[in-house]
Structure 1
């Protein structure tokens, strides 16, 4: 099983502030996502144009899919999902082929 990268892009629903979305994100991460098997980490960012991206890393594609199967009906995800304009939601998964992390030795060179 190969590590999996999941990339999600979307815009916020009308009337949802960045602060409200980030608060719901943190709650969902703590109460739901962080408890799932195979979850590694998650980054959330916003573009200057107002689009959002979430990059998740999973131990396997199976773990990523299992999370989605649970996400849809989980009570702890409803407030998070309500923040998103679902007509703009897109998700793509990729199998990790290479990984590089700058080490302290690389930074000193």
Structure 2
């Protein structure tokens, strides 16, 4: 069964959304997609400016391994600097077989 991670957040006030979304694509292409067990990633933005990121992993171990290095990776620093850390909410789920 695959693992699904969700992360909700808002940007630091004054952050340009177009510039952030370019950083987001770079994080996916240059960091997330290169990690073992990465299956897919979806990014959405609500009318209130809140982002919801949904990431699918092959296993919880794959998710753990990637996230253990996420906050210190050179590829993620500009992305992380744009996020208002006080708004971050995350969750992890197991996909139900159908």
Q: Whole-Å Cα distance in 2 between the matches of residues 49 and 76 of structure 1?
A: 27
Question: Which residue of 2 is the match for residue 45 of structure 1?
Answer: 44
Q: Whole-Å Cα distance in 1 between the matches of residues 47 and 13 of structure 2?
A: 17
Cα RMSD (Å) of the superposition?
Answer: 1.0
Question: Which residue of 1 is the match for residue 24 of structure 2?
Answer: 25
Q: Whole-Å Cα distance in 2 between the matches of residues 44 and 5 of structure 1?
A: 13
Q: Whole-Å Cα distance in 2 between the matches of residues 42 and 55 of structure 1?
A: 6
Q: Whole-Å Cα distance in 1 between the matches of residues 78 and 44 of structure 2?
A: 19
SS in 2 for 1:84: coil
| 5+ long unaligned stretches in structure 1 | 100-109
Alpha-carbon shift at residue 98 of structure 1 (Å): 3.5
Q: Whole-Å Cα distance in 2 between the matches of residues 74 and 49 of structure 1?
A: 29
Alpha-carbon shift at residue 31 of structure 1 (Å): 1.0
Alpha-carbon shift at residue 30 of structure 1 (Å): 1.2
| Large movers: runs of 4+ above 2 Å | none
SS in 2 for 1:44: strand
Normalising by structure 1, report the TM-score: 0.86
Alpha-carbon shift at residue 15 of structure 1 (Å): 1.3
Normalising by structure 2, report the TM-score: 0.95
Higher strand share: 1
Aligned pairs, how many?
98
Q: Whole-Å Cα distance in 1 between the matches of residues 78 and 97 of structure 2?
A: 35
